[in-house]
Amino acid sequence: MTSARTIRIFDTTLRDGEQSPGASMNLTEKLEIAQALVRLGVDVIEAGFPIASPGDFASVSDIAKTVSAATVCGLARCNDADIDRAWEALKPAAQPRIHVFLATSSIHREFKLRMNEDEVIARAVAGVRRARTYCGDVEFSPEDSARTEIDFLCRVVEAVIDAGATTVNIPDTVGYATPSQMHYVIKSLRERVPNIDRAVISVHCHDDLGLAVANSLAAVEAGAGQVECTINGIGERAGNCSLEEVVMALKTRRDHYHVDTRVVTQRLVPTSRLVANITGIQVPRNKAIVGRNAFAHEAGIHQDGMLKERRTYEIMRPEDVGLERTDLVLGKHSGRAALADRALALGYQLTPEQLQTVFERFKVLADRKKEIYDGDIAALCEQQFSALPEQFTFEGYTLTSASGSPPTVELRVLQNGEPRSVSVTAGDGPIDGIFLAIEKLTGIQTACRDFRVQAVTVGKDAQAEVTVELAATTPGDGGQVHRGRGVSTDSLEASAKAFLGAINRVALGSQPRIHPQ
Ligand code: KIV
Ligand code: ZN
């Protein structure tokens, strides 16, 4: 194989990805994703925006302390307080990077910043200089680059490189660019900015027109050396460039792009599942690379071709993205070691205590359903990693219900370890009745923003996975949306667990955050 440029993969799942509505993650979840990203082989992990909230600060700082095999990056606006706070969080990192950004397009200059071109350049240069007093690795992003006049963009890029930026990222903040435009912008920077060789050119594309991956690939063709992306393409609005798609496009069409990445592609599906489970943002079945149907062949002609020669209808091998040809794995008689192995293959490295709990739950589940699939194991492991301190723990329910009249629900929970119960006759059906019982018992009133049920695997005995999003209507919570997830072979029990999960988050309280855009 000929030697080729290596494109740096900058993952921003924990920062831009977390800006997806409803995707906020707790510290344990972020650390788990950061470890999965290290195993995936990404070069840079953007761990958060430290000044945004104490929670963001803590997660950047904890990831900085625990990750040494990748660069750990923190975002900051171009002001002293942001940059100082970012450095405070990043300084324990083996490879820290400060990422400063400032908008440059005329629409942002005029209406958001109320600054002229020279003032924007002066602020950008001051931000980069301050970041460089702390750290040798500084990235600068001219926000909304794709709508910035090319002459001005060249001036900004030259000035920030002179001030010490080692990576210059070109964001298409609003997903407005087209592939040929992106190619032109990167090519122009390479041709017109005299000091461009002193920095890596990066690209950060949003997916508002569904072009984020195509635009990122066009930037690579024009000479970009870093691509910013997220697992499953999550992010602000329509999301970001999807990591798995851009990486597999570069790998599958190496004949065309002539570049490599360091990503261990066999980890793509496990990492995608982990992020989907933690964020509650499920991957559509037909999603490229990691969707359930991505390697399923339905048409008879295709199946026939596949049997004769796989390459007739398959351009990638499922095992290269970490997908097993069959995912039926374990049953009632499987042992602890087999479970630990399977969990690891799915991306979950369990401590002995976590393995013990997962194994106990696995045995209970194996009594309820004959065949245990990868999805079941992922769901069991997930409950370990996303565990928050629980004020309310589901114990059980008794329910009588008939169409046309309100159900009667008796609900039993543990509150800080103490048994409590409540009975209500109310609601429009059993799930509404359970939710009302939970509200009565906890005293927390909510508005339901989303409720989704899906089967974790296949078959009549499949586990139901319920995801709910609630906005607390209790004064003081600020209407923030909280997510909960519950899994059980009994869909009412899964609903009760999901609802209580979200209520536990409300009870824990959460800090307001600043969003960068
Ligand atoms: O989309 C964007 O412009 C960003 C910057 C902060 C890089 O996310
Ligand atoms: Zn972005």
pLDDT digits (tens, 9 = 90+) for 388-406: 678 899 999 999 999 989 9
At residue 266, φ and ψ (nearest 5 deg) are -65, -15
Residue owning tokens 């261990």: 264
pLDDT at 337 over 90: no
The pLDDT value recorded for residue 122 is: 98
User: Which of 10, 46, 143, 153 for mutating ligand 1's site (highest number of atoms within 8 Å of CB)?
Assistant: 143
- Does 61 lie in the same domain as 200? yes
pLDDT at 412 over 80: yes
The pLDDT value recorded for residue 429 is: 93
**CB-proximal residues (5 Å) to ion ligand 2:** 16
Averaged over 322-346, what is the pLDDT?
A: 76
pLDDT at 166 over 50: yes
Asked, for residue 226, whether it belongs to a domain, the answer is: yes
State how far the Cα of 479 lies from the Cα of 443, in Å rounded to an integer.
Answer: 16
Tell me which residue of 44, 49, 96 sits closest to 202, measured CA to CA: 44
- Does 504 lie in the same domain as 412? yes
* Ligand 2: centre distance to CA 16 (Å): 6
Asked, for residue 469, whether it belongs to a domain, the answer is: yes
Query: Which atom of ligand 1 is nearest to 12's Cα?
Result: 8
Asked, for residue 441, whether it belongs to a domain, the answer is: yes
Averaged over 248-276, what is the pLDDT?
A: 95
* Ligand 1: centre distance to CA 126 (Å): 19
- Please check whether residue 209 is in contact with residue 201, taking contact to mean a CB–CB distance below 8 angstroms: no
Asked, for residue 285, whether it belongs to a domain, the answer is: no
**Domain, as residue range, for 403:** 392-508
The pLDDT value recorded for residue 516 is: 47
> Which ligand sits nearest to residue 20's alpha carbon?
2
Asked, for residue 113, whether it belongs to a domain, the answer is: yes
The pLDDT value recorded for residue 349 is: 80
pLDDT at 320 over 90: yes
The pLDDT value recorded for residue 385 is: 64
* Ligand 2: centre distance to CA 471 (Å): 25
State how far the Cα of 472 lies from the Cα of 496, in Å rounded to an integer.
Answer: 17
pTM of the model: 0.79
Asked, for residue 513, whether it belongs to a domain, the answer is: no
* Ligand 2: centre distance to CA 220 (Å): 18
* Ligand 1: centre distance to CA 63 (Å): 21
Asked, for residue 438, whether it belongs to a domain, the answer is: yes
Q: Ligand 1 pocket, 516 CB below 6 A? A: yes
The pLDDT value recorded for residue 16 is: 96
Interval 473-482: pLDDT, tens: 766 655 677 7
- Please check whether residue 362 is in contact with residue 372, taking contact to mean a CB–CB distance below 8 angstroms: yes
- Does 105 lie in the same domain as 197? yes
| Helix, strand, coil share of the chain (percent; to 5) | 45, 20, 35
The pLDDT value recorded for residue 3 is: 76
State how far the Cα of 122 lies from the Cα of 478, in Å rounded to an integer.
Answer: 37
- Does 379 lie in the same domain as 320? no
Q: Hey, whose CA ends up nearest to atom 8 of ligand 1?
A: 16
Strand partners, 240: 206
* Ligand 2: centre distance to CA 171 (Å): 7
* Ligand 2: centre distance to CA 161 (Å): 21
State how far the Cα of 429 lies from the Cα of 298, in Å rounded to an integer.
Answer: 38
Averaged over 168-178, what is the pLDDT?
A: 98
Q: Which residue has the higher pLDDT, 3 or 217?
A: 217
Across all residues in the chain, what is the average pLDDT?
90
Output b/e per residue, 242-268; b: 16+ Cβ within 10 A. bbbbbbbbbbeeeeebebebebebebb
Q: Ligand 1 pocket, 204 CB below 6 A? A: yes
pLDDT at 471 over 50: yes
- Does 459 lie in the same domain as 352? no
pLDDT at 509 over 80: no
The pLDDT value recorded for residue 50 is: 98
The pLDDT value recorded for residue 513 is: 43
The pLDDT value recorded for residue 277 is: 80
Q: Hey, whose CA ends up nearest to atom 3 of ligand 1?
A: 173
Structural domains in the chain (count): 4
Q: Which of 149-153, 249-253, 273-277 has the lowest average pLDDT?
A: 273-277
Query: According to DSSP H, which parts of 309-397 are helical?
Result: 336-345, 352-368, 374-385
- Does 304 lie in the same domain as 256? no
Q: Ligand 1 pocket, 101 CB below 6 A? A: yes
Averaged over 14-32, what is the pLDDT?
A: 88
- Domain closes at, from 385, 408, 433: 385
- Domain closes at, from 245, 279, 313: 279
Q: The domain spanning residue 432 has which CATH number? A: 3.30.160.270
Q: Hey, whose CA ends up nearest to atom 4 of ligand 1?
A: 173
Q: Which residue has the higher pLDDT, 341 or 79?
A: 79
Question: What DSSP element (H or E) covers 161?
Answer: helix 150-163
State how far the Cα of 314 lies from the Cα of 302, in Å rounded to an integer.
Answer: 10
Q: Hey, whose CA ends up nearest to atom 1 of ligand 1?
A: 173
Q: Which residue has the higher pLDDT, 246 or 330?
A: 246
- Does 154 lie in the same domain as 48? yes
Q: The domain spanning residue 136 has which CATH number? A: 3.20.20.70
Averaged over 51-75, what is the pLDDT?
A: 97
Averaged over 81-110, what is the pLDDT?
A: 98
- Does 156 lie in the same domain as 243? yes
- Does 238 lie in the same domain as 104? yes
- Does 152 lie in the same domain as 40? yes
Q: Which of 112-116, 287-291, 297-301, 404-408 has the lowest average pLDDT?
A: 297-301
The pLDDT value recorded for residue 91 is: 98
Asked, for residue 517, whether it belongs to a domain, the answer is: no
Averaged over 484-509, what is the pLDDT?
A: 87
* Ligand 1: centre distance to CA 26 (Å): 22
State how far the Cα of 50 lies from the Cα of 84, in Å rounded to an integer.
Answer: 10
The pLDDT value recorded for residue 511 is: 38
- Does 400 lie in the same domain as 316? no
The pLDDT value recorded for residue 267 is: 93
- Does 319 lie in the same domain as 192? no
* Ligand 2: centre distance to CA 110 (Å): 20
Q: Which residue has the higher pLDDT, 370 or 15?
A: 15
pLDDT at 512 over 60: no
**Which strands sit side by side in the sheet containing 392-402, from one edge to the other?**
392-402, 405-415, 418-425
The pLDDT value recorded for residue 334 is: 83
Q: Ligand 1 pocket, 239 CB below 6 A? A: no
The pLDDT value recorded for residue 475 is: 63
Q: Ligand 1 pocket, 143 CB below 6 A? A: yes
Q: Ligand 1 pocket, 376 CB below 6 A? A: no
Query: Which atom of ligand 1 is nearest to 169's Cα?
Result: 7
Averaged over 45-55, what is the pLDDT?
A: 96
Averaged over 201-218, what is the pLDDT?
A: 98
Percent of the chain with pLDDT over 90: 64
Q: Ligand 1 pocket, 15 CB below 6 A? A: no
- Domain closes at, from 337, 363, 385: 385
